[in-house]
Every structure is written in C-alpha cells, then in structure tokens.
Structure 1
Amino acid sequence: MALFGLFRRKPHERQGFELYGAAVRAARHPLFFARYGVADTLDGRFDLIGLQVALLIRRLHRDPDPRGAALAQAVFDAMFADMDFNLREMGVGDMSIAKRVKNMWEAFHGRARAYEAPLEARDEAALAAALARNVWRGAVAEDAPAPRALAALAMATDDALAGQGLDALLRGQVTFPAPRDMP
C-alpha cells in the first residue's frame, strides 16, 4: 500500500494549477506592458504573476474554512512547479535549478510580505511605493501614474477576490479584474 501513496495526488492539486493559470493570464494582460511600462522580461512577468498570486493566496488564507489554506498551498506549489519547469525549458542546468527556485521563493515571499501591510491598512500610497520598488525596481517614482494605477488595481483585485466564494475557488474558478488604461 505504501508504494501507491507515492502516486497519490496532493489535495487540491488540479484546482491549484487552474487558479494559478488564471493568475498568470491576469498578469499577462497587455496593458501592463504597453501602458503601465512594466518590463516584458522574466523579472517583469515574475513580479506581476507574484502580485496576482499573492493576492489570491491572501484571499484563500483569510477564509475561515481550512480548505482555503490547503488550496492556498496548492496554488503556491503550482507556481513554483511552473517556475521550475520554465527554468528547465530555458536551459538552466539541473545543478542551479534549486538555487534559482529558492531565490524566486524568497523574492515572492518578500514581495507578498511588503504588500500585506498596505493591503490590510487599505493604504494605496504605501502599496504604490512597494510596487514601485519591486515591479519597476525603483526606476519609476512611487507617486507616478503606473504604480498608483497598479496599486488601485491590486486593491480592487483584493476586494474582488474577497467577494468570490470558496466553493467556486475549490472548483478552480476565479475572476481577476482587468487593468484600466491610464491617461
């Protein structure tokens, strides 16, 4: 019987990948790159995906149902399985994959923590400052239109995700608001 346990799927694995896929699609919206000026690079894409996933995980962890935390873990696992896969596809050697994934995990964790307090306090200016530091690497002022617009979108996404029931999320269904064009 123990051998069969090796082939058993993790709880919520499929739903975790579906929710993660929706977060990736939301992060790849063309306006982020064309109008917000996010670099369409590995780093720029990682930061946008990380923001969407952090917001989704935040929603799931806030659910009083313990399945929310389990689903959050499944989303996290899906994200880093995808990062590992993509690094391998890009030709990164096996010997450095673990280190690169660890660095990505640390970056994701640091960003999620930096966004948590402003989200909790509903402080859009502080969130814009954190986003300017991370997404634009300080090359754009925190009070510039793009960080402010992304902070407003993050707040709207946080609200939208809070309004989505756990039953739908457990089926792998989630809706992310689209970014608005900037003047």
Structure 2
Amino acid sequence: MEWLRKILPGNSRRTEKEAVSSLYKSILGRARNPGVFGDLGFADTMDGRTGALAIYAGLVTTRLSGISAEGRAVSSRLTDRIFDDIDAGLRETGVGDASIARKVRTIGERFVGLGIAVNEAFLTSDPKTTIQDILKRNDLTGGTGTENAASDIVEARRILDAQPDEALLSGHLDW
C-alpha cells in the first residue's frame, strides 16, 4: 500500500507538510531546552532564544539541502514555517502591521547569518572554538555558557550527521 500512497495526487505534499511539522517541533525542542539557557548556555533573552533557534534550524536546513532536490524543498518549507511563526509571534506581542516586515527582515538577516556562520565553523580545524567566538560576537551567551552552548551545538551537529537521509526527509530527527 505504501507505493499507492506515493503515487496518489496531493499525498506527497501532505507527507512533506507532516515532515516539516515534525522537524520544526524537533528543532524547537532543542532550541528551547532549558539546559542550554541562562548560566548554562544561551542568554535567556529574545536574542538568545532567537539565536538558538537560528543555529539549530541552520544545522537542519543545511543538512537537508545537501541531500537532494527533495531535501532542498523540505528545507525551504521548513524555513517558511519558522518565519511564519516568527511573524505570528511578533503580531501577538503587538507589533503593528507597518513595522512587521522590517522586524521580520532584521530577524531574518540575523537568522540566516548565524546559520551560515555556524555551518562554516564546521569547516575549520576547531569548530567548537569558532562557534564560541560566534556566540560571543553576537552576545548570545556569557561566562561558562559560551562553552556549554558551543558543546551542545557540536553535539547536535554530530547527531544530525548520523541521521539517515530518508529519516530526515520524512521528518524524523532524534536529538
């Protein structure tokens, strides 16, 4: 019956939507883990929380994009989903329609910049130290939290890289 589901019209879209939803929940779970905030990691501020989301989402979207055209499509939909939630969150806090686009753009630029910087850190000879520098430079952590957050990011990337491509494409991310 699985083969029939794959060929029915509209089913791949639903499956992709479910995969995106599942991946997003996994990313949020990692980015909102209380164990990586405060003195233990990221600053417990809007910037710290947004930065954590950007970094973990950047790891996942980059990994997806490297799999295939299907992975790039899932990555794109995942990014859209994240920014839809950011937009909705800003509206809930009372940000007016006139300034929403500017605020989302500012968050988006930082979001993409952090994702790129952290992924590029893994191309260096010492990713953990490079990530610590990125976290400090962007005021996302402080004190011992910088080392802890960098260690968590390196571990998240290790776990993500060990995930089978098909599992990620279907929305399964176990970290």
Place the TM-score, normalised by the shorter chain, in its bin. Answer: 0.7 to 0.9
Q: For residue 116 of structure 1, what is the aligned residue in structure 2?
A: 119
Q: For residue 13 of structure 1, what is the aligned residue in structure 2?
A: 17
Give yes or no for contact 1:17–1:74 (8 Å, CA) kept in 2: no
Match of 2:75 among 48, 72, 85: 72
Give the letter for the 1:98 counterpart. A
Give the letter for the 2:146 counterpart. P
Give yes or no for contact 2:32–2:49 (8 Å, CA) kept in 1: yes
| 1:154 Cα offset (Å) | 1.2
| 1:37 Cα offset (Å) | 4.8
**2:36 matches 1:41:** no
Q: Which has the higher contact order (CA 8 A, sep 6+)?
A: 2
Distance 1:30 1:130 in 2: 21
Distance 1:18 1:57 in 2: 13
Give yes or no for contact 1:84–1:97 (8 Å, CA) kept in 2: yes
Runs of at least 5 residues in structure 2 that lack an aligned partner in the other structure: 1-12
Q: For residue 5 of structure 1, what is the aligned residue in structure 2?
A: none
Give yes or no for contact 1:16–1:71 (8 Å, CA) kept in 2: yes
Return 27-36 or 154-163, whichever deviates more: 27-36
The Cα RMSD (Å) is 2.0
Q: For residue 165 of structure 1, what is the aligned residue in structure 2?
A: 164
Runs of at least 5 residues in structure 1 that lack an aligned partner in the other structure: 1-8, 177-183
| 1:12 Cα offset (Å) | 2.4
Match of 2:34 among 7, 30, 34: 30
Give yes or no for contact 2:61–2:75 (8 Å, CA) kept in 1: yes
Distance 2:40 2:80 in 1: 29
SS at match of 2:44: coil
Identity of aligned residues (%): 30
TM-score using structure 2 length: 0.83
- Report how many residues are paired: 162
C-alpha distance 133-18 of structure 1, shift in aligned 2 (>3 A): same
Give yes or no for contact 2:65–2:75 (8 Å, CA) kept in 1: yes
Q: For residue 126 of structure 1, what is the aligned residue in structure 2?
A: 130
C-alpha distance 108-34 of structure 1, shift in aligned 2 (>3 A): closer
| 1:33 Cα offset (Å) | 2.1
Task: Point out the structure with the larger helix share.
Answer: 2
TM-score using structure 1 length: 0.79
Q: For residue 155 of structure 1, what is the aligned residue in structure 2?
A: 154
Q: For residue 95 of structure 1, what is the aligned residue in structure 2?
A: 98
C-alpha distance 148-79 of structure 1, shift in aligned 2 (>3 A): same
Give yes or no for contact 1:11–1:70 (8 Å, CA) kept in 2: no
Distance 1:78 1:88 in 2: 15
Deviations 1:63-97 (A, max 9, x none): 2x221111111111111011011111111111111
Q: For residue 108 of structure 2, what is the aligned residue in structure 1?
A: 105
Return 67-76 or 145-154, whichever deviates more: 145-154
